[in-house]
Copies of this chain bind each other. A is one copy, B any other.
Amino acid sequence: MRSRKEKWQVAVLEILQASEKPMSAYDVLGELRNANPRIAPPTIYRTLSYLVEKGRAHRLESLNAYIACKNHKHDKSAVITICEDCGAVDEYVATDVLKVLSNVIAHSGFATLRHVIELQGVCENCGFEQTSV
């Protein structure tokens, strides 16, 4: 039998996967309330935390928002691009970047546990739209 915990995780992941754009915790909450009007913020924050821990979703720190992971080729750390125009988000594998990063901080004795690498900018589509006016 699937536990309640797992049911929430599946429901939230499906909502995130169905969205073209990052969703705030309260966006997800709104969707969940269609089926279950009494659900409260802690439930959704807990569920999002589990999903992020497992790598099934990512939290975008610069947006306070969440996406479903759509690129399982990375263990933990992805490079994430965020279009400021249309909100589209993509993930890239970051192995090389992490290598260079560890060189940059090599002499400091800092032991990295988690990377946040988010690039804000303009995606290909929006760039073309802008120049074609």
* Interfacial residues, chain A to chain B (CB-CB below 8 A): 61-62, 79, 81, 83-84, 90, 92-94, 96-97, 100-101, 103-105, 108-124, 127
Alpha-carbon gap, A84 to B110, bound state (A): 11
Docked-complex contact B101 and A79, CB < 8 angstroms:
yes
Docked complex Cα distance between A81 and B90 (Å): 24
Number of copies: 2
Besides A79-B104, A115-B118, A117-B117, 18 new A-B residue pairs in contact (Cβ under 8 A), listed by A number: A61-B118, A81-B108, A96-B100, A97-B97, A100-B100, A101-B119, A108-B123, A108-B124, A109-B124, A109-B127, A110-B119, A110-B122, A110-B124, A111-B122, A115-B120, A116-B116, A116-B118, A116-B120
Chain B: minimal CB distance from A7 (Å): 29
Chain B residues with Cβ under 8 A from A62's Cβ?
A: 61, 116
